[in-house]
Amino acid sequence: MDNLNHNDKQIRLSELKKLVDTTTSPITTGDVNNHIHTFYSFSPYSPTKAVWMAYQSGLTTAGIMDHDSVAGCREFIEAGEIVGIATTIGVECRADFSSTKLNNKRINNPDQTTIAYMALHAIPHGKIERVAEFFKPYTLERNKRNIAMIEKINKLVPMELDFEHDVVPLSKLHEGGSITERHILFALAKKIIQNKADVVGFLKNDLKIALSEKVEGFLTDKSNPYLEYDLLGVLKSDLVEKFYIDATAECPDVTEVIALAKEVGAIAAYAYLGDVGNSVTGDKKTQKFEDDYLDLLFEELNRLGFNAVTYMPTRNTLEQLLRIKELCEKYNLMQISGEDINSPRQVFICEALKNPIFSNLVDSTWALIKHERGESAI
């Protein structure tokens, strides 16, 4: 099983074939998921293992969605063929909206205004290399900022993180992957665990981070197999704002990303986040995002040439989602969904999709797959 995350792609795929041949096929649920991260951005899973996890969960389809990288797409496709589930490929990025009426607004990015997350879904397989070429210069710019943020962390936390020594080895940078804030915080989590016998005491007393009873229980459980990821979650929630540097040169203008989508024939999707009050999932701070200006947002999405809106039913209230569905229908925007998988505690099945009101999200997944394969146009 460990070979599913082996450094050699061929060994990963070979292990997958062995597992399929020697294990009982799971019961297929009919569920779909279009937003699975792999270790080509940040995730505990290689593309092969991600597909295996999706397969074992009973998913009918699975979609790869890495940050600024399509390096895992071909492996993901091949792994899907081995286990016999349909796949779709895409890439997630942050785009600069300063040339739009959303300039200076908090859009869907918790860390800064004007910059928003968006996705390219259903990238035709013959265009993967073109998409990779597009993101290369932005990856270089992102790493300049990553290094600068590490310098700030080293002033906050006496751990002496080093980009090349501590962070790069946690990534697939040299295979076309990206490095995100999660990589940096994962490296920091490892350092803290290695150097601090009392992790909870260090967080509370030195970093002044308040912990919930549940999280403290995770961090004090000596048998916890996800300790590093749980600590990463704490650091991401409470430390990022202290070292974060605004992303600028690494974020292409939204019009450039839309142009790329049109050039390669991908589906350009805005990622709806929505205001957070009492977090439905319990993992987000209270914060305002797009809900106060949704009409303006959709006017701009329509003007810019977006094809779709992607949202996650488990992340929002039904009231929020019904409003998004109504606006998507008004502007004839495709609706896409997927659970954002990047941690071992997350499940691949989105239970909210079982609500008949979201049956369109299953239908749209199959439309993506057909589009990607050149079988029909969206």
Other Cβ atoms within 10 Å of 320 Cβ, number: 20
Which residues does 231 contact at the CB level (< 8 Å), separation at least 6? 189, 192, 193, 199, 219
Q: Per-residue pLDDT for 350 more than 90? A: no
CA proximity to 186, closest of 206, 171, 204: 171
Q: Residue 284's pLDDT is what? A: 58
Q: Per-residue pLDDT for 70 more than 90? A: yes
Q: Residue 30's pLDDT is what? A: 87
Q: Residue 1's pLDDT is what? A: 64
Q: Residue 279's pLDDT is what? A: 45
Average pLDDT over residues 202-220: 94
CATH fold, domain 2-140+247-372, is TIM Barrel (3.20.20)
Instruction: Provide the percentage of residues in the chain whose pLDDT is more than 70.
Output: 97
- What are residue 298's phi and psi, to 5 degrees? -70, -30
Instruction: Judge if pTM exceeds 0.85.
Output: yes
With bands split at pLDDT 50, 70 and 90, how would you rate the model's confidence at 280? very low
- How is residue 91 written in tokens? 């890439």
Which residues does 260 contact at the CB level (< 8 Å), separation at least 6? 120, 131, 134, 266
Ordered by start, the domain boundaries in the chain are 2-140+247-372, 156-243
Note whether 342 and 42 are within 8 A (CB): yes
Q: Residue 281's pLDDT is what? A: 45
- How is residue 98 written in tokens? 């300063």
Kind plus residue range of the DSSP H or E element containing 63: strand 61-67
Least confident of 136-140, 249-253, 296-300, 315-319: 315-319
